[in-house]
């Protein structure tokens, strides 16, 4: 994601529409690093709210995903230590310092299925604002795309649909197509620069099509 790296692959002929270049008769595919993208997303989310599509909100209007929603959930979830929906979360996940912001593991644990499910549960039980649905839905989508691009096993883990390797029947390509449109319609409010997830999904979607051709 560093500007120097992006300019380098662009100078070799790789573009968003054709994310590859030719070298000695070989086609070299260029993709962004999914763990790094996830970390960059988390770090931007710490500072900026995210404007999301209408179908994210229970009010049927454009909604805002907020890091504060996660902070509020963490406080509510830990009021009863005997019944915690997201036990993996700690203060370093919620308010990471400079060194902790560099850890992909912390980003993956907070932008996870369990946190999204916990947010939905707290909304359903009226423990937190219904507006949190927007943040929960966003986290759920981020979790799915990270699973799809980072799976290491041919089998499902914990029943998560996209945590297995890609195949013609796994549904990954449909997910990439859906999220390619989604990422073109969300934006960080007030951020000058942020990771291009449209490019992330489009690049990997292209690679998957080539792999399954």
Q: pLDDT per residue over 87-96, tens digit each?
A: 999 999 999 9
Q: Which comes out higher in pLDDT, residue 156 or 189? A: 189
Lowest-confidence region among 43-52, 78-87, 172-181, 190-199: 190-199
Using CB atoms within 10 Å of the CB of residue 52, give its burial: 0 to 12 exposed, 13 to 18 middle, 19+ buried.
buried
What CA–CA distance (Å, rounded) separates 173 from 177?
A: 6
Cα dihedral 98, 104, 109, 111, rounded to 10, equals 90
What CA–CA distance (Å, rounded) separates 37 from 95?
A: 19
Q: Which comes out higher in pLDDT, residue 5 or 202? A: 5
Nearest C-alpha neighbor of 206 from the set 21, 30, 11: 30
């Amino acid at each position: 994601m560093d500007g120097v790296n992006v300019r380098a692959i662009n100078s070799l002929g790789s573009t968003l529409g054709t994310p590859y270049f030719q070298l000695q008769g070989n086609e070299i595919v260029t993709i962004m690093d999914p763990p790094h993208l996830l970390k960059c997303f988390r770090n931007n989310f710490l500072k900026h709210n995210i404007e999301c599509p209408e179908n994210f909100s229970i009010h049927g209007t454009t909604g805002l995903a907020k890091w504060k929603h996660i902070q509020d959930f963490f406080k509510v979830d830990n009021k009863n230590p005997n019944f915690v929906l997201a036990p993996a979360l700690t203060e370093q996940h919620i308010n990471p310092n400079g060194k902790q912001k560099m850890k992909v593991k912390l980003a993956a644990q907070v932008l996870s299925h369990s946190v999204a499910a916990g947010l939905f549960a707290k909304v359903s039980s009226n423990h937190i604002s219904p507006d949190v649905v927007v943040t929960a839905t966003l986290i759920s989508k981020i979790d799915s795309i990270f699973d799809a691009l980072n799976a290491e096993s041919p089998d499902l883990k914990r029943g998560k649909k996209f945590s297995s390797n890609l195949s013609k029947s796994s549904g990954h390509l449909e997910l990439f197509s859906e999220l390619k449109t989604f990422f073109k319609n969300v934006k960080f409010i007030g951020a000058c620069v942020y990771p291009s997830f449209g490019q992330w999904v489009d690049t990997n979607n292209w690679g998957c099509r080539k792999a399954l051709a």
